[in-house]
Amino acid sequence: MSLAIHLCTTIGATPELVWSEVEDIDSHVEWMADAVSIVFRTEAQSGVGAEFECLTRIGPLSTTDVMTVTDWEPGEMMGIEHRGVVTGKGRFTLQPLGTALTEFCWTEVLRYPMWMGGPIGERLSRPILLRIWNGNLKRLRARIEAKAPPQAPRH
């Protein structure tokens, strides 16, 4: 079993502007409520092979997992492998919707160890993670849209 979550939001900005925010992995702690700190283990802080430790906290539970960038297509997609207590893969994808709109999707497929409840823990945590990650996407959208140039009025 594994926990699979797929969330999308529409951001009022170009994929280039969205990517400029998302590619800065170190800044993810500023919009991800569950990411407390990121410390890079490699000199590279972007691109395939960049590796970092992410301290994640949800309520009283925290874990530090090693994450490695596995896919990197500027303006389109970033893939991450999770290693540690929680294992799995994550992916951000960007899809242009017209001239200044971007669909941003976040997919995670995670596995919990048995001491965290394994498949039962995955099922029980799903609504909590959905709430947290939806909030993360709202913060990311607001952060990017605050930087986006104003759009011309639609007629």
Dihedrals phi, psi of 145, to nearest 5 degrees: -65, -25
The pLDDT tens digits of the residues spanning 41-88 come to 999 999 999 999 999 999 888 999 999 999 999 999 999 999 998 999
Q: What is the pTM of this model?
A: 0.92
For residue 115 the two structure tokens come to 């001491």
82-101: average pLDDT: 94
3-147 is classed CATH 3.90.1260.10: no
Name the residue ranges covered by the structural domains of the chain. Answer: 3-147
For residue 25 the two structure tokens come to 């992995």
Distance between CA atoms of residues 111 and 122, nearest Å: 7
Report the mean per-residue pLDDT for the chain: 94
Sequence-ordered list of residues with C-beta below 8 angstroms from that of 44, at least 6 positions apart, any chain:
50
Half-sphere exposure of 10 (CA within 13 A, CB side): 7
The pLDDT tens digits of the residues spanning 107-147 come to 999 999 998 899 999 999 999 999 999 999 999 999 999 99
